[in-house]
């Protein structure tokens, strides 16, 4: 397995974890500024990691 593909899988997993954590924070948000700020930060980072990982896995050619 290629190193880029492994790194892409790790980034995708971190992105999924960040998006799930954002969903949990969203369901427990009371509306304060601190809650909204952490929602935005974790959501954006999770989305960036997820999209980067998916693009790495898709564009890396599998060389056997």
Q: What residues make up the domain containing 42?
A: 3-59
Cα 45 from Cα 54, distance rounded (Å): 14
Q: How many domains does the chain have?
A: 1
Helix 3-27 vs helix 33-59: crossing angle, to nearest 10: 150
Euclidean distance between CA atoms 30 and 49, whole angstroms = 27
Give percent of the chain with pLDDT exceeding 90: 53
| Residues 13-29 pLDDT 10s | 999 999 999 999 888 88
Whether residue 11 lies inside any domain: the answer is yes
CA angle 61–5–17, rounded 5-degree value:
140
Q: What is the pTM of this model?
A: 0.83
Q: Within a domain: residue 64?
A: no
């Amino acid at each position: 397995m290629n190193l880029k593909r492994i790194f892409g899988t790790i980034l995708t997993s971190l992105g999924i974890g960040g998006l799930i954590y954002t969903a949990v924070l969203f369901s427990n948000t009371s509306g304060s500024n601190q809650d909204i700020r952490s929602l935005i930060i974790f959501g954006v980072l999770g989305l960036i990691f997820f999209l980067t990982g998916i693009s790495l896995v898709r564009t890396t050619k599998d060389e056997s």
